[in-house]
């Protein structure tokens, strides 16, 4: 699946292309996609393909095409504080983007069949938390992953506000998937070769919308040949945050507000000078005039008296533009993590500072 948009040179250009093609349509989804570099979830030797609109698979590791993830994120209609269940959570790429939107009071769970993929996802999550500046720009709902077959979830599990299944669902499993939803919840899944959005409007009422044609590998059916018994998947409990953790969230939020106010005051209420764009040059063409006299045809070129002056001005403008483009480009300054700088400048014991920063390395 994929290939709907042009490849990008980097993550931001890929997102620009997805926006232009209307796969990304809302600001929250755009922010989440820009905050997490897709290449970080690739193995090193395959990173050259990270910004192509194509699915990628290596062994049990799999990533859907960016256009598919975009449609899924938009269809889920994510909001802070919701609960989310990712069936076939894979590398954790989608779960991490969802976590940026859910915020600290959401619930973010994933079920993955392969234990090696779970380990891979945990490594990528740890790398994101420890090294990405995007982590400090959001309040993150960290995903929790469990190993198992998503068709064997314990019947006494809690229901969720949002559910996504990343494998093809057959009609016989549609009701099973629906029962994972709270009333008012949204389920997005590939159902009979169509990416489908199902909204639970009542205890036994549903609205279904087909989004686009897709091709997904089907769900793997449970195998009970060994023991003859089902291996129930027990999802993580919904944890209650400690008072200490709530205090950290509140302090970080207050510091971010202070930074925002300081930035607004420095920039004059946030109004910056609008960017300057080069005026596009339109080359004027001399007009060819055809004159009919009796039965003969005469072709003549009629020049505008001002053409020569205009052409000289154009050539001079073009020459100046060429000189400007030849000038060495200044590299942009590296982004500044203002939250980190502000925390480190506080008159607090170092252990408390590092706790506020989640013990991040940079």
Alpha carbons 232 and 156: distance in angstroms, whole number? 10
Alpha carbons 40 and 127: distance in angstroms, whole number? 9
Q: Would you write out the chain's pLDDT as a tens digit for each of its 362 residues?
A: 566 777 889 999 999 999 999 999 999 999 999 999 999 999 999 999 999 999 999 999 999 999 999 999 999 999 999 999 999 999 999 999 999 999 999 999 999 999 999 999 999 999 999 988 889 999 999 999 999 999 999 998 999 999 999 999 999 999 999 999 999 999 999 999 999 999 999 999 999 999 999 999 999 998 866 555 668 999 998 888 899 999 999 999 999 999 989 888 887 654 444 444 443 443 434 444 344 444 444 444 444 444 455 555 655 666 666 665 555 555 556 678 888 899 999 999 999 999 998 887 65
The CB-based long-range contact list for 93-97 (8 Å cut-off, 24+ gap) reads 93/36, 93/38, 93/41, 93/63, 93/69, 93/124, 94/64, 94/69, 94/164, 94/166, 95/121, 95/143, 95/145, 96/36, 96/124, 96/125, 96/128, 96/143, 97/32, 97/33, 97/35, 97/36, 97/69, 97/73
Q: What is the DSSP letter of 240?
A: P
Alpha carbons 124 and 84: distance in angstroms, whole number? 19
> Cβ atoms within 10 A of the Cβ of 277, count?
6
Q: Please give the domain boundaries of the chain with CATH numbers for all domains.
A: 11-222+230-239 (3.40.50.150), 241-262+338-361 (no CATH)
210 three-state secondary structure: strand
> Cβ atoms within 10 A of the Cβ of 348, count?
14
From the list 175, 138, 136, 180, the residue with the least C-alpha distance to 157 is 180
From the list 125, 62, 53, 70, the residue with the least C-alpha distance to 95 is 125
pLDDT score of 335? 72
pLDDT score of 266? 83
pLDDT score of 284? 38
The catalytic position among 6, 64, 132, 306 is 64
Alpha carbons 235 and 111: distance in angstroms, whole number? 8
* Residue 64 is a catalytic residue: yes
pLDDT score of 103? 95
pTM to 2 decimals?
0.79
- Residue whose pair of structure tokens reads 């229901």 in the numeric block: 159
């Amino acid at each position: 699946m994929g290939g709907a948009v042009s490849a990008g040179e980097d993550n931001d250009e890929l997102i620009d292309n997805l926006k232009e093609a209307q796969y990304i349509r809302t600001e929250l989804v755009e922010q989440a996609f820009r905050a997490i570099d897709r290449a970080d979830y690739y193995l090193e030797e395959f990173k050259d393909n990270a910004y192509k609109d194509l699915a990628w698979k290596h062994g049990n590791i799999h990533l859907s095409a960016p256009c598919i993830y975009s449609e899924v994120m938009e269809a889920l209609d994510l909001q802070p504080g919701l609960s989310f269940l990712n069936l076939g959570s894979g590398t954790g790429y989608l779960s991490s983007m969802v976590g940026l939107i859910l915020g600290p009071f959401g619930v973010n769970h994933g079920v993955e069949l392969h234990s090696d993929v779970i380990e891979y996802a945990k490594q990528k999550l740890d790398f994101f938390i420890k090294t990405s500046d995007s982590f400090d720009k959001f309040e993150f709902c960290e995903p929790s992953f469990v190993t198992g077959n998503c068709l064997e979830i314990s019947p006494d599990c809690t229901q969720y506000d949002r559910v996504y299944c990343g494998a093809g669902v057959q009609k016989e499993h549609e009701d099973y998937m629906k029962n994972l939803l709270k009333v008012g919840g949204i389920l997005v899944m590939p159902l009979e070769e169509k990416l489908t959005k199902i909204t639970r409007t009542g205890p036994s009422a549903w609205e279904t919308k087909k989004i686009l044609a897709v091709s997904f590998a089907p769900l793997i059916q449970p195998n009970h040949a060994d023991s003859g018994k089902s291996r129930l998947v027990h999802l993580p409990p919904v944890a209650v945050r400690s008072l200490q953790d709530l205090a950290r969230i509140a302090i970080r939020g207050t510091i971010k507000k202070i930074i925002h106010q300081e930035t607004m005051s420095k920039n004059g209420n946030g109004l910056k000078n609008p960017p300057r764009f080069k005026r596009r040059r339109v080359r004027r063409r001399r007009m060819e005039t055809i004159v009919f006299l009796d039965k003969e045809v005469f072709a003549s070129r009629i020049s505008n008296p001002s053409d020569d002056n205009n052409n000289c001005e154009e050539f001079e403008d073009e020459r100046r533009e060429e000189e400007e483009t030849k000038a060495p480009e200044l590299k942009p300054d590296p982004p500044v993590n203002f939250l980190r700088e502000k925390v480190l400048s506080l008159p607090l014991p170092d252990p408390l500072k590092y706790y506020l920063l989640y013990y991040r390395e940079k």
